[in-house]
Chains A and B, each alone.
Chain A
Amino acid sequence: MNSKGVDNADCILRVNNLGKRFNGLVAVDSVSFAVRTGECFGLLGPNGAGKTSTIRMMYGFSPPNSGTISILGLDIATQWRLIRSRIGICQQDNTLDPDLTVFQNLLIFAGYFRIPRHLASERAEELLQFFALDKKREAKVGELSGGLARRLTLARALINDPELIILDEPTTGLDPQSRHLLWERLHALRARGKTFILTTHYMEEAAQLCDRLVIMDHGRILVEGTPASLINEHVGRSIIEIDSPEREGLRQFLRSHQVDYDELANRFIIYSNGDLAIEQALREGFCSRQCTFRSATLEDVFLRLTGRELRE
């Protein structure tokens, strides 16, 4: 699959025919996409879709079996050290150093980049402020709540003032307050011209943060586009959910009017795409019980493309 409409010049990252196998199982299957400088690019997909494998190859942690990755015009296979010095990575697992305090985590991490000491402590102070961590300066990492730990992880990923920031599920498991604070900080960083690559399981987060995104499944990219264009293209503008309807009649009605729908155990999901006549007819004919009329979301696209079965 080729990345449509993205020209070479303004790309900060370019992935070409990337492939990865683990013990004969294909984790990533000839994936290609490109990320423009300054945008927020989403990498979505169910568990096991190959998102984290792709990300681990992006920063040179894991060597690809095939394909190439270039970041900032450099090849990850040979110039990984230079690339890593210019990007920030916020891993999915908590990899903060529990033997160190909050402030030391930033300072010691800066040391790995060989950032001079005075500059490192200057940046560390700024980042503590920026992520509202300054009160926890001397706290041990083990004492931090999930939200604080995630903020520190993000602060740490910014210690080298990276041009590209890779975020692997940055908000998983956070309470709404922490999540909103994080989103707000990401918006602020975007305004400073940083580029982001983001994976998440929260579709409203992806819709809100990402300029463009891909949805992956089984190691392949299914679709690529802006959240709005994907919604339009795959589920239309509006959706009606009807609980426990009279099945046969509804099926016949939808088929005869050529309306897309998904049939679940106790519910029909109908992709009415803003057709007022259809909506009116459904309201009158089939809404004896629970009926929901709502706008289509990215989550509908996601479920439609990747299916509703459990993955693990």
Chain B
Amino acid sequence: MLAFTNLSWRFLTVWRRNLVVYRKIWKVNFLVPLLEPAFYILAFGLGFQGLIEGLSYAGQPMAYTKFMAPALIAISIMYNSFFETTYASFVRMYYQKTFDGMMATPLSLEEIILAEIVWSATKATAAALIMAVVLGLFGFVAFPQGLLLLPLAFLGGLAFGAVGMFFTGFTPSIDMFNLPIFLFITPMFLFSGTFFPTAGLPVWAQHAAYAFPLYHLVELTRFCCLGFSETSPWASLAYLFCFALIFLVVGLMAMRRRLIK
């Protein structure tokens, strides 16, 4: 069972450790979110946009790049947090034995794992911030509501970081992360209203998309960038919040089961 008494603000000391490591290679860490949106916008704007006519979202016609740009931020939030709590956390846990070392201090396992998840959300927020600036320069982000992207990125980061940690809780080896990526992340990446509106899908697939956390994150990034979305932002927010909370709890439980023997 999950021991809430094992949680305290001490988890921030582990979060700080990750920040110190991140800052050592901040230039590399910044480069991807800086260049990635520019590449996508150029590729799709120059190469793809001409092929697409009559796109409409939430009943409004719009240019393809304008439709796609907010989704890039959402995808980046998902990737940054999910990869942090899967591959990166697994390396720290299994190969580097960093968590074992921390367990010789007054830190609880719950604090270490919570810190990893909160750190993944922080990394996602940093990426979202850089992307928002770049996309803002292209004119794809409307301010000031674009600033809402930052707390949203943190919430989305918590959701995907927590579900990543849940997988880390019982993956037998690092190569096995291919499975949740192939079965969970990639379908979401393609079918969450990211590169085409879900309205273009058969009805059953539309309903399936509503179950994806990325769909709701994309909806909310669109709301921040465009000022409107096709579903209620409150419903999407509630969905993401519940998703994050549930996987925080089961992620912590899975890791306790894995590591405390």
Contact = CB atoms under 8 A, between A and B. Distances in A.
Q: Indicate, yes or no, whether A interacts with B.
A: yes
A46 to B, nearest CB: 21
Given A63-B260, A112-B13, A112-B102, A81 B108 contact: yes
B111 to A, nearest CB: 9
A83 to B, nearest CB: 9
Given A104-B20, A111-B13, A112-B13, A94 B97 contact: yes
Interface in A51-102: 59, 61-63, 81-82, 84-85, 88-89, 91, 93-100
A104 B13 CA distance: 13
B87 to A, nearest CB: 14
A109 B101 CA distance: 9
Contact of A95 (B10, B98, B107): B98
B106 A98 contact: no
Interface string B13-51: 110110011001000000000000000000000000000
A113 B13 CA distance: 9
A81 B104 CA distance: 10
A180 interface: no
B104 A91 contact: yes
Contacts of B260: 61-63
Interface in B97-150: 97-98, 100-108
A113 to B, nearest CB: 6
Contacts of B107: 112
A113 B97 contact: no
A97 B98 contact: yes
Given A62-B260, A97-B96, A108-B20, A114 B104 contact: no
A100 B21 contact: yes
Contacts of A84: 104-106
A111 B16 contact: yes
A225 to B, nearest CB: 29
B17 to A, nearest CB: 5
A24 to B, nearest CB: 13
A28 interface: no
A95 B21 contact: no
A112 B105 contact: yes
Contacts of B17: 97, 100, 108, 111
Given A91-B100, A111-B16, A111-B17, A22 B108 contact: no
Interface in A92-139: 93-100, 104, 108-109, 111-114
Nearest to B100: A95
Contacts of B261: 22, 62
A221 interface: no
A157 interface: yes
Nearest to A82: B106
Contact of A97 (B13, B101, B106, B108): B101
Contacts of A22: 261
Contacts of A61: 100, 103-104, 260
A97 B18 CA distance: 11
Contact of A85 (B20, B101, B106): B106
A152 B107 CA distance: 20
In the complex, which of the residues B13, B97, B101 has the most CB atoms of chain A within 10 Å of its own CB atom? B101
Interface in B70-105: 96-98, 100-105
Given A63-B260, A100-B20, A114 B96 contact: no
Contacts of A93: 97, 100
Nearest to B10: A114
A108 B23 CA distance: 14
A25 B10 CA distance: 36
Contact of A91 (B10, B24, B101): B101
A61 B14 CA distance: 18
A93 to B, nearest CB: 5
Given A84-B105, A85-B105, 4 more contacts: A62-B261, A81-B108, A89-B104, A114-B13
17 contacts: A59-B103, A61-B104, A61-B260, A84-B104, A88-B104, A91-B104, A93-B97, A95-B97, A97-B101, A99-B21, A100-B21, A108-B13, A109-B101, A109-B105, A111-B16, A112-B102, A114-B10
Interface of A: 22, 59, 61-63, 81-82, 84-85, 88-89, 91, 93-100, 104, 108-109, 111-114, 156-157, 160
Which 10 pairs from chain A and chain B are nearest by CB?
A95-B101, A112-B105, A89-B104, A99-B21, A95-B97, A111-B13, A81-B106, A85-B106, A84-B106, A95-B100
